[in-house]
């Protein structure tokens, strides 16, 4: 598959946090790289985004200080019946991703239960999928 825009062609950002913008640009490159691999042929864009998020490793670039806006994100359907504490933990990780970057949120998610980590990755992949679609990075 070919995609319409490369990361350096991405227009005006919807997200206001520099750390997330940097992560989205990095995701765009890594998603394209994964899409070119034979083992991801036929895999949904959301799943490729989730796999890419799970595989992100820190770089030498420090994340900027957190901003002030709160981003609201829906939790995956299967998390609806989770205890309130679990939902709050997932929401906290999403806030962390949007304010301080995906890498920092991934590091925090590694210290949680597998359920919380998976729900966080699913919710983040869903939210980023919408944004990456708007930018023409995924179909």
pLDDT, residue 65, reads 41
Specify the higher pLDDT residue, 110 or 42. 110
Residue 8 in any domain: the answer is no
Q: Give the count of domains, the chain.
A: 1
Closest by CA to 23, choosing from 126, 99, 123, 114, is 99
Domain encompassing residue 88: 13-57+69-134
Q: What is the pLDDT of residue 58?
A: 63
In a domain, 1, yes or no: no
Query: Does residue 88 sit within a domain?
Result: yes
Mean pLDDT, residues 117-133:
90
Q: Is the pLDDT of residue 102 over 60?
A: yes
């Amino acid at each position: 598959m070919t995609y319409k825009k490369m990361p350096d062609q991405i227009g005006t950002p919807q997200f206001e946090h520099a750390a997330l913008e940097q992560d989205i640009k990095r995701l765009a490159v890594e998603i394209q790289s994964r899409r070119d691999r034979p083992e991801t042929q036929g895999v949904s864009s959301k799943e490729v985004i989730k796999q890419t998020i799970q595989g992100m490793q820190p770089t030498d670039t420090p994340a900027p200080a957190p901003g002030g806006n709160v981003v609201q994100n829906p939790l995956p359907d299967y998390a609806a019946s989770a205890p309130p504490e679990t939902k709050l933990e997932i929401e906290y990780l999403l806030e962390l991703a949007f304010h301080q970057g995906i890498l920092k949120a991934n590091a925090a998610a590694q210290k949680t239960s597998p359920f919380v980590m998976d729900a966080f990755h699913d919710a983040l992949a869903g939210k980023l999928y919408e944004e990456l679609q708007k930018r023409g990075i995924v179909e």
